[in-house]
Amino acid sequence: MVRAMSERSQTNFGFQDVPLADKQRLVDGVFDSVARRYDLMNDLMSGGLHRAWKDALVTAINPPRGEWPFALLDIAGGTGDIALRAIDAGGPATRATVIDVNAQMLAVGRERAAERGLDEVVDFIEGNAEQLPFADRSFDAVSIAFGIRNVPRIEQALAEAFRVLRLGGRFLCLEFSTVDVPGLAALYDLYSFNVIPTLGGAVAGDADAYRYLVESIRNFPRPQNFAEMIGAAGFRRVSFQQMTGGVVALHSGWRL
């Protein structure tokens, strides 16, 4: 069941069947068009809740506040949102590396880091989650927020995250999930498929991009299925916590 759902998420762009080889190109096109207004759209779509969800992720990352060195890899975090929060939460020896396939999103992140004088402690690298350009056991934590569902080969990305983690390191994934609360699910679908694309068209000038983002959420494996995929990649003590009635889930796994 895990593999069947994973294959579906990897071969469907939204609700349209496309070759696996084409998915990354289509995803790149989506984020090229919305990079400069991505965080504004997140505020509008979630009513600002995405900030609380990301705070929960950074709390789980738990960078040390003292002098202990700590290296975070944030995957698909081009705008620097998670990395900059982690730097704020950690001590003077906390460092973050952001990797993203999208140059436009990375440009936004670099500008933000430079504006805050943090470009010496946050690196921005263009690269693919399925083939991370880092040595084995390089990081104390690996995070990905709202990006794993857009990776064409999710199992390969999980294996790479495991590879670059040090022993005792933690993988954390924040992703949209499945609303199971009676009544809320229907309202959530109504909002997602009608309001969000309209906002995308009005604010970002690309309704189709946001229609894809909604459809990609529905194609993503359910929390228990995704947790099993994380375990299959080698992680231990795998768990997940659903938030806001199941709108999002915070997944965790350790390299032990």
Q: Under CATH, which number does the domain 2-178+220-254 receive?
A: 3.40.50.150
Token reading at 78:
């081009």
Residue 207, token pair as written in the block:
């309704």
Question: Bigger pLDDT: 24 or 18?
Answer: 24
Whether the per-residue pLDDT at 154 is higher than 80: the answer is: yes
Kindly report, residue by residue over 89-120, the tens digit of the pLDDT.
999 999 999 999 999 899 999 999 999 999 99
C-beta of residue 17 within 8 angstroms of C-beta of residue 11: yes
pTM for the structure as a whole: 0.84
CA distances from 252 to 5, 31, 227, 249 (A): 20, 26, 8, 10
| Cα(216)–Cα(158) distance, integer angstroms | 18
CB 183 within 8 A of CB 68: no
